[in-house]
Structure 1
């Protein structure tokens, strides 16, 4: 996705050699046209996998996951990061560290919205260390559903997350791979 690469190069803000801020197009402000293009691309890549649900983690992955679910014609389920007063007792929960937030949080999905009969596609905005992805994978496995793969908008290949997920035998498709943020410069890996 050359358009996405261009937007990252123009609007991404390098915070450190580990952190790239993409608030202008993914994490704070959302470009609907670009987001729908990303959803179409993920749907194209996973169209033969008979996906029954798209799953993401609240909140930055929701827009792209929605676009993907829309294109595939399936429901979107997002894992909550906080238990609400209305949360049921039948929640599936995993504790995960957040690389960018620097804290450990719970991710929760109701058993009402994911079952052993589902073929799940996990969609997220960025993968760094892969902690949220691993937590979601554990939830999918615990319920007995099949994870058909993961679609990640931006994979930071200089961090271990994408590699760790692939080493579990999980298909991971990223739209853009960033190989380095060294020297205050975004270097794409492809």
Structure 2
């Protein structure tokens, strides 16, 4: 998605440790007009698929998934929660997820009544690096006996192993922008 690459080059900032900050439009402040273009692109990519649910992980994926939902007949968005809460159902699917950016392991949870056997699920997330979040979400889909349609990623770090790990598991991975590297403080795309 050329417009996404241009926006990353214009507004993205690099940090130590291969961290790309896109918080001005994607995961802190959200550019809704631009996210609508992202939603349309995911619809174009998955146009032949029936989608019953969109699954993401809190917090950065929620806004993106909500926008994407409107292009799939407002399929409900389910997000895996990282923290325990009194208002969570007791009957949950759980999976462990290691956060690359926070260097911390989480247990993510989804109420069993929100992912059901046979439902066709599209996973949407902001970044793909090592595939940890996606693998945790895949585990939730597997436990629910729902059917995975694919994984839609806004920005993939193509120089890390996430895509290979997921594709080796037989997962369809579709990324809108794939970073090649950050050599000499410069962002390069595949």
Aligned match of 1:39: 39
Q: Which runs of 5+ in 1 are unaligned?
A: none
Aligned positions, number:
189
C-alpha separation between the residues in 2 aligned to 1:63 and 1:37? Answer: 13
Larger CA deviation: 120-129 vs 13-22:
13-22
C-alpha separation between the residues in 1 aligned to 2:17 and 2:11? Answer: 16
Scaled by the length of structure 2, the TM-score of the pair is 0.97
Q: Which runs of 5+ in 2 are unaligned?
A: none
Task: Establish whether residue 61 from structure 1 lines up as the match of residue 61 from structure 2.
Answer: yes
Question: Contact 1:17/1:180 (CA < 8 Å) preserved in 2?
Answer: no
SS at match of 1:93: strand
Report deviation, 1:17: 5.1
Scaled by the length of structure 1, the TM-score of the pair is 0.97
**How do 1:179-190 and structure 2 match up within 5 A?**
179-189=180-190
* CA displacement, residues 97-154 of structure 1 (integer Å, 9 cap, x when unaligned): 1001111111111111110121000000000111010011011011111001000000
Task: Establish whether residue 120 from structure 1 lines up as the match of residue 111 from structure 2.
Answer: no
C-alpha separation between the residues in 2 aligned to 1:87 and 1:64? Answer: 23
C-alpha separation between the residues in 2 aligned to 1:66 and 1:51? Answer: 14
**How do 1:124-143 and structure 2 match up within 5 A?**
124-143=125-144
C-alpha separation between the residues in 2 aligned to 1:125 and 1:65? Answer: 9
Task: Establish whether residue 27 from structure 1 lines up as the match of residue 27 from structure 2.
Answer: yes
Larger CA deviation: 14-23 vs 108-117:
14-23
Aligned match of 2:88: 87
